[in-house]
Structure 1
Amino acid sequence: MAQTTRPAVWAGQFYPDNPFQLRQIIEEWFAATLSLPSAKNIRAIIVPHAGYIYSGSVAAKAYAQVKSQSISTVIIMGPAHHYGFRGVSIDQDARYQTPLGLIEVDSPWAAKLAQLTGYKTIPQAHKQEHSIEVQLPFIQVAWPQAKIVPVVFGYPRHKDVQKMAKALTKIMANPQVLVVATTDLSHYLPQAKANQVDAQTIKLIENLQAETLLQKATRGENIMCGVGPVSSLLLAAKQLKTSRLHILEYRDSTAGGGPASQVVGYVAATLEISPPSSGGKTEEALTEQEKKELLRLAREAITLFLQNKNPPHYTPSSPRLLEKKGAFVTLHHKGRLRGCIGFIESSLPLYQTVIQAAIYAAVKDVRFNPVSLDELPDVEIEISVLTPLTKITNPAQIQVGRHGLVIEKGRQKGLLLPQVALENGWDRLTFLRRACLKAGLPPNAWRQGAKIFTFEAQVFAEKPKEEA
């Protein structure tokens, strides 16, 4: 039997029907979103499904957190708005059209979910449903090859939520499957009341209170339209026990120009699942004592060099400081940058790398005059210890706030530390352009053959004098 194609019913109403405009706005939202430094192993997100003018940027914040992960299948759970029924419908064999092209249903995963829950396809539930459709362009931009499993919830019932939650606990073990639960919050209340109700609802979501949300909704309380999808996800998260839910943003429809007398609320959240311990060796963070030792050593190195041009003779107390690592030393004077030099990779032990970087930052950064002994007491020292470089081919893998960047083309190379993007409020695109400029390359060189490397850093600094 030929695979059916569901047309883009809501293009031009809920979101742009022009493919270039649609892709551009989503890419801009993604680029403007700061990734959580700690975000990893995200298995599910909660997003709204209103018109993009109202809630698109909120939804983008959740998708952007997962964009760097390798996702092959997205299970989208939304509430029914246009066809009334009881139970749950799982579309098992179709293609969905959007202005960006076709996106296929992952039939094997849909069949597996149907087998685990006992639910089948109710075609009428999917024909007009916008809560699923408005998610598709985000998925197509983030993961062009991904397939979907559309799931529509009818009138919310406790047994449906339990069945779906049980199935999700098994499915979310797969890191290439993302679960999307979509809901809007309170509908058409005055803004002050809506914000108050939504704050209480968000607190329940944050604390994984699926049962309470379901009870409120079945009593007819105006808290959210997608209580079935959200409660199923939260109940599964609670059963998994190793999950953490992060609320990313709350906004109401007034931000998109809607009237304050009739407000709809929107929330974005991510759900992380901690993987089981593999027993493998991971790179350990420096201890507080080791950080203090390196900071003292950096100051001593600068002081001795300014006094007699000699570096200190030193034997570190910790064997960890004998490991070969790259490091940068950054100097600030009264809140302003005073020097920054380091080594991406080093053949020297860490403590010697810090000694050399500290001296070079003080006297060899060509952007500044050498630091003098008189001003040294007012100079604050910051050290960044680097992980090895990782070459990437997909810029979406860059997590602003977590990754530093190295851009390289020919003999030209530029580095920006992770903290630089956060300190300047840069998004991913600006970070890439600035790294290109640092390398002496055109700002779009990262699109034109330049190699992109990421790294992470342990960053620590001296305490200001008033705190010392």
Structure 2
Amino acid sequence: MENLVGCALMPHPPIMIPEVGKHELTKIKKTVEAATKVSETLKEANPQTIVIITPHGPVFNDAVTVSVHPRLRGSFTNFGVPDVVLGFETDSLLMKHIIRSCQRLGVNLLELTDDAAKNYRISLQLDHGALVPLYYLTRAGFKGQIVHLTMGMLPYEEMYTFGKAVQTAINSTDKRVAVIASGDLSHRLIPGAPAGFSPKGAEFDRLVIEALKNVDVKALLNLDQDLVEEAGQCGLRPIFFLLGVMGGLDVAVDTVSYEGPFGVGYGIVSFKINGKRKEEENATGTMGTESAPVTLAKASLKYYLENKRLMQPPQAIAPVLAGQAGAFVSFKKDGELRGCIGTFAPTQPTIAEEIIRNAVSAGTEDPRFWPIELDELPELDVSVDILSEPEPVTSFDLLDPKKYGVIVRKGRQSGLLLPDLEGVDTVQDQVSIARRKAGIRPDEQIELYRFTVTRYK
């Protein structure tokens, strides 16, 4: 991938800025030297645009954000040095590609325009999470454009998918782009640390740095959640994003630095992009603009039609395919449904295995259609819906056919309808169709559940 010229994790303590830290810089000499080296290396790669993701911009629980403004600026006024000001033009073309790519991959990206910022009462000023790395890049000579992103409190798998969306967007432009994930590690390394002390902080940092040195997404996904909570960190979600940006690419670790003299872990890891895709990612991550679930669904049905048995789940799977959830696989041909079968609750150890089985069922066992044949595969459009855990509801007022799917139950009878279906515009229509699918009469009492889906195409 020639457009992506480098990636790095960088910390963001304002004390790294000489005008702020002054004599304290000697205590983080290793971090300052590594940040300088990484910035100079990236500058030598001649990026026209820096994409930077920060944990300290406007953070939403259910969305990541992009700052939509022609010019972004910020200062270190809050840290006693108002004269240190940075300003950058926004790369509006790359930003548009990112927005489109997120829409395609089902990433909830909020566009922070002036009006949106006013509505949410938030600032479009660059935060210190972005400013600190950008200070070092500017000092190294970078004078290009930026795209300013802020993480959301989304599952780690979705942050990885966000990274994949940005990778696809970068590949759609003619520009040389570097990506920076801004994030500090544990804030609880020593007594008196900003977030208090926990002996697990150092363990968390060690495991994260080791995983980054090995570019090991699975190791990060397998981190004990109690350990993550105890660490008191702000960098893990930006790290998953960064790994998504590099997903499927041949990368090599260039610089590794770590220290935590003030009780906060400052990790710097930079990556050289060699451009070639790993073969295993082609089967388990995303190819081009195609999402990992869709790639796997296609591969599963093709394998079954060729070999008359289910494919084995890949040894290495993209984060979005880990965990457990119900999933529906749909095939369409010339805009018309050709097969759709799924599970509203997990029946397999992983989402990957759920999709493998449901893709075969949708393609060969949907009683409404003849089984799909091998020569039809190039003509099919595929979508995969991964379901949230259903929650009971007591009123139609809590339903929305565009946002929520619905499940109706009466004893052993149940019917499910996915959200946002063409021609299903009211709650009454949605519940009525689900009743008919379950064989439940309109006058019979039912239990009602709703769920959300993440749709991949």
Per the normalisation by structure 2, the TM-score is 0.45
Larger-Rg structure: 1
Per the normalisation by structure 1, the TM-score is 0.44
